[in-house]
Structure 1
Amino acid sequence: MSTQTTGTIAVFGATGQQGGAVVDALLAHGARVRALVRDPRSDRARALAARGVELAAVRTDDPASLAAALAAVAGFSFMTPEANSLEEVETEIRIGTALVDAAVGAGVPHVVFNSVFGADRKRGVPHHDSKHAIEEHLRASGLRASMVRATAFMENFAGVLAPSLEHGEIVLRMPLPEDAALKMISIRDIGRVIAALLLGTAQAPGGAVELVGDELTGPRIAALFGAHAGLPARYEVLPLSVLPTDLDRVMFREFAKAAEHPGDPAAVRSIEPATLDLAQWIRATDWTPPTDAAAA
């Protein structure tokens, strides 16, 4: 049984996309929010303050600043910067460990770690293994903790994975096999799930939840964009070699492996019933096809 939480909720990473979505969801519920920021004078921090968010200046290498920022809070949401190298893995683990230790010292009643899919065990993937180490440290801390493990962002289809329009046809290209179903979630819903856990309106089954709002193959994804635009659509598989970095290549290999194990969107909707599937996200964002590349 969930017990609804009142009191101030602390958010680390509030000036970023995912942390910002947490703040949005908390404010929508009338919660008091304290954002832990490096520079309270930055434009993004000031924008939070203008919305009624309390700002607390912190340095992750300064335990006193973290302790002060987490004093008397009812809950704490944090995420850590993505690691792209062994050096960055060490930095990420150090930051995550410092935040967990500060939460222990402050006696925070509930901590939610915004992790990543696959962080439930070591995989030899830098940005997964760093978060796995932080999850393990958090579990060993004795704190009441929930792990939310984000999958691919639907917002990528408005950016790096955006379909193109060619000769009047919607074309989606990804380095993912045709029969591999991509697990995905909207950034909005990451924030809503975390807020629900922090506010005590829901619980993560077993203390962790993989965030899957939808799970579709490339051809099915292309078809949804085509149907929305009222145009024919097709999917093309790209080789992993087109990706610019080793991290990107590793990530898409993980997407393909994850497709072997079906997700559980129902578990996510038990926490946030309004979680978007991809068709709903396309409508909600009023997606429109780009200019026809062939006509340019």
Structure 2
Amino acid sequence: MAQQSTKTTGTIAVFGATGRQGGAVVDALLDRKATVRALVRNPHSGRARALAARGVELAAIRTDAPASLAAALMAVEAFCFMTPEANTLEEVETEIRIGTALVDAAVAAGVPHVVFHSVFGADRERGVPHHDSKHAIEEYLRKSGLRATMIRPAPFMEEVAPSLEHGEIVLRLPLPEDAALKMISVRDVGRVAAALLLGTAEAPGGAVELVGDELTGPRIAAAFGARAGLPARYEALSLSVLPSDLDRAMFREFAKAAEHPSDPAAVPSTLDLPGWIRATGWTAPANVAGSRA
């Protein structure tokens, strides 16, 4: 990513602000004193009210009502959106429908800049539902004529969850022992999105892949063990433990992605895994049932 001197000072609209990624974007924008408008389905929900209490403007929308979407995007300087993750073919259709409706609304409202939260590898169709749906939305956005930036996060560090068993940190993933998993913290996804939305950074070519660290399973386990002051080990599981063909396809893609090393330094100031562990104050989980530690 490159730094940019022209800064956005108007209202920034966010769809998905009550979720994890969108919430990280809102946090980063508010940290930089930006004016934020959250597009929400239910402005009376607890999460929406919590946003309003922090000074976020709420715009009630319906994703099946184009006029409500376009009205919510009027007079904004930038718009950030992420779509619900699709895990079935039916959910793929729903996600694409929501994504294209948001793009159409941005066109109707004349939004100057749109940032779409895609997923790592979405520039290629892969047969993984939440990759293919993001790919379709990226293509639709590219053809819209809007100035658009795609951010493609790797899997989230927050989703790596070791257990404590008999006084030992244990990490199990359906990933070969020698395959390095690419990761990014949700916090950093929000910070990168905010920089792009505010115009303090730009992504050459209109897209940026977000990787804060890439480590093999044994090294991931060791990082958690070092924090806990405990021994650690990694167990590579068979893909057969996953509940569906779609999940198995996703982890095959993670293994394939490991064959092409990334450069975390390409996105400055992101946390590596040990840094994320320290920053979040991670502590060892409770012992699993039956453990003796």
TM tier, shorter chain? over 0.9
- 1:165-180 → structure 2 map (5 Å cutoff): 165-180=164-179
Q: Does 1:129 align with 2:147?
A: no
Q: Does 1:21 align with 2:24?
A: yes
Identity across aligned pairs (percent)? 82
Structure 2 residue aligned with 1:279: 274
Structure 2 residue aligned with 1:39: 42
Deviation, structure 1 residue 100? 0.5
291 and 85 in structure 1: CA distance in 2 versus 1, 3 angstrom threshold: closer
Gaps of at least 5 residues in structure 2 are none
- 1:253-264 → structure 2 map (5 Å cutoff): 253-264=252-263
Q: Secondary structure of the equivalent of 2:79?
A: strand
Q: Does 1:295 align with 2:292?
A: yes
Q: Deviations over 1:80-111 (max 9, x none)?
A: 11112222211111111110111111111110
Within 1, Cα distance between the matches of 2:68 and 2:159? 35
Deviation, structure 1 residue 168? 2.3
Q: What is the alpha-carbon root mean square deviation over aligned residues?
A: 1.2
Structure 2 residue aligned with 1:181: 180
Structure 2 residue aligned with 1:56: 59
Within 2, Cα distance between the matches of 1:221 and 1:108? 41
Deviation, structure 1 residue 46? 0.6
Deviation, structure 1 residue 72? 0.4
Of the candidates 87, 99, 109, which is equivalent to residue 96 of structure 1? 99
Runs of 4+ in 1 over 3 A off after TM superposition: none
Letter in 1 for 2:191: R
Q: Secondary structure of the equivalent of 2:267?
A: helix
TM-score by length of 1: 0.94
Q: Deviations over 1:169-200 (max 9, x none)?
A: 22111110011000000111111100000001
Structure 2 residue aligned with 1:232: 231
**Number of equivalenced pairs:** 288
Gaps of at least 5 residues in structure 1 are none
Structure 1 residue aligned with 2:202: 203
Q: Deviations over 1:199-219 (max 9, x none)?
A: 011011211111100000001
Deviation, structure 1 residue 249? 1.9
Within 2, Cα distance between the matches of 1:188 and 1:205? 22
Q: Secondary structure of the equivalent of 1:289?
A: coil
TM-score by length of 2: 0.95
Structure 1 residue aligned with 2:163: 164
Within 2, Cα distance between the matches of 1:24 and 1:51? 10
Within 2, Cα distance between the matches of 1:244 and 1:15? 28
Q: Secondary structure of the equivalent of 2:118?
A: strand
Structure 2 residue aligned with 1:77: 80
Tell me, yes or no, if the aligned pair for 2:7 and 2:198 is still in contact at 8 Å. Answer: yes
Structure 2 residue aligned with 1:152: 155
Within 1, Cα distance between the matches of 2:79 and 2:253? 29
Q: Secondary structure of the equivalent of 1:280?
A: helix
Tell me, yes or no, if the aligned pair for 1:2 and 1:203 is still in contact at 8 Å. Answer: no
Q: Secondary structure of the equivalent of 2:12?
A: strand
Q: Secondary structure of the equivalent of 1:295?
A: coil
